[in-house]
Amino acid sequence: MIVIERPTTTPRRLRQEQQRALKAGAITQHLACAVSSWRSDLLAAVDVALDAYVALDAHVAEVSGLQDPSDADMPATLEHVAQRLDAINKKFGKIEPGEHDEFCDYINDVLRDAGVDPAAVAARLGVGQHELTDTWPDWQPCRNST
């Protein structure tokens, strides 16, 4: 198992750095974009969704259920994480298109780490890899995935 950096790692670090700089008077609130864009409750909500996706929460074990996945398993698993992230985006309105791509990369990395090749599954299903998550109209992160 490899260590996969979460899409929330950099925003969390930037937020902490900017909070320290604000406190020290080194920057103004106007320049502290990570503080206003990535609120702690948003980061926490995203982490909960990603925890469920990677099955760190034993009660919501989606990826761990893919030990020997069939192609039919992947769309449902991706739908669950996409719906969770979409709900977070609707609540907070903060997930930007470039960040969608980061989430897609993370989703694919987690699948690969679990032994699933998203591109191969998509090819067997006769769709582009991005279409595995793009079937849900409010969540379209995977345009540039590898």
C-alpha of 136 from chain center: 15
Per-residue pLDDT of the chain in tens (146 residues, 90 and over written 9): 567 889 999 999 999 999 999 999 999 988 888 888 888 999 999 998 888 887 643 333 455 555 555 666 677 777 788 888 888 888 887 777 778 778 888 888 887 777 778 888 888 888 887 777 665 545 554 444 44
CA atoms within 13 A on the CB side of 82: 23
- Give the count of domains, the chain: 1
- Domain contains 146: no
Region of 55 please: left (phi>0), alpha (psi -120 to 50) or beta: left
Q: At what angle do helices 73-92 and 97-113 cross, to 10 degrees?
A: 150
Does any domain span residue 127? Answer: yes
* Domain assignment present for 145: no
Residue-range definition of the domain harbouring residue 99: 9-134
pLDDT of residue 24: 96
E-assigned strand segments in the chain? none
* pTM tops 0.75, yes or no: no
For the chain, the helix, strand and coil percentages under 3-state DSSP, each to the nearest 5: 60, 0, 40
